[in-house]
Amino acid sequence: MTSTDDPSTATPTTAVSGVADGWDDPEYQQGVVDLLGVLAYGELSAFERLSDDAAMAPTLTDKASVAAMAVAEFGHFRHLRDRLLELGVDPETAMTPFVAALDAFHESTSPADWLEGLVKAYVGDGFAADFYREIAVHLDPSTRDLVLGVFSDTGHSAFAVEQVRAAIRADPRVAGRLALWGRRLVGEALIQAQYVAAEHDALAGLLIGGPGRPGVDLAQIAEVFNKLTTEHSRRMASLGLAS
């Protein structure tokens, strides 16, 4: 299995400063290109999704807050795209293999209202950040810094938490609906993540390792999932929701 229709065009052609041990492994290079591609399209579609959410904002101030979140995601997209260009990889080629899975995720989790949009932004982005941080552990320092930077908190979490808690105070019945919504988000994310991992060996290899490159074993994978679940529950609780 390969990661793109034409893997030769999605493989770095130039040496990049700051990439360290293991970079000369073509399988690792392909894994990094896949990672940057899926992250870049993830950020571009996060921009679109948050812009759509802005249309549902109850006030102009809220609209501007969500638009600012969208703009921050686009900033992350720019960093990832620039790194792909630096590696001599066409961003469009790197992103295309991941469009179907990410679009499917967003279509299956299209928020019905403002609050569902906020929960998705907070819970979904948090879950994605935890997941990619686990992968980042196994990356060369330069790629790791880029990934960690993309997922550094942009300070928008507080906004979502505040709004959702206020809505629950005003009408406690919304908590049940939003709790189910949070569970559905994670379920759909895991379905698409499994699909992506199965289709992209090099990307999965960043986590599970490869010849001469240590990765995590089965017990550690269970531990990663445990961590992701714990953090997810913590975020749901901070919103005032059962997980």
For a second copy, the binding residues (CB under 8 A) are 41, 44, 47-48, 51-52, 54-55, 59-61, 63-64, 67-68, 70-71, 74-75, 77, 81, 91-92, 95-96, 99
Q: Which is nearer to a second copy, 117 or 205 (CB)?
A: 117
Rounded CA gap, 184 and 222, in Å?
Answer: 21
- For the chain, what is the largest distance between any 2 Cα atoms, rounded to a whole number of angstroms? 57
Do 164 and 240 meet the contact criterion of CB atoms below 8 Å apart?
Answer: yes
Q: Which is nearer to a second copy, 48 or 162 (CB)?
A: 48
Q: How far is the CB of 61 from a second copy (least distance, A)?
A: 5
Q: How far is the CB of 228 from a second copy (least distance, A)?
A: 28
Alpha-helical regions (H) of 173-241: 174-199, 201-208, 218-238
Q: Which is nearer to a second copy, 91 or 124 (CB)?
A: 91
Q: How far is the CB of 2 from a second copy (least distance, A)?
A: 19
Rounded CA gap, 17 and 125, in Å?
Answer: 30
Do 24 and 198 meet the contact criterion of CB atoms below 8 Å apart?
Answer: no
Backbone angles phi, psi at 132, to 5 degrees: -70, -30
Q: Which residues fall within 8 angstroms of residue 217, CB to CB, at 6 or more apart?
A: none
Q: How far is the CB of 107 from a second copy (least distance, A)?
A: 12
Q: How far is the CB of 139 from a second copy (least distance, A)?
A: 24
Rounded CA gap, 221 and 15, in Å?
Answer: 32
Q: Which is nearer to a second copy, 41 or 181 (CB)?
A: 41
Q: Which is nearer to a second copy, 99 or 191 (CB)?
A: 99
Q: Which is nearer to a second copy, 41 or 122 (CB)?
A: 41
Q: How far is the CB of 47 from a second copy (least distance, A)?
A: 6
Q: Which is nearer to a second copy, 24 or 107 (CB)?
A: 107
Q: How far is the CB of 60 from a second copy (least distance, A)?
A: 5
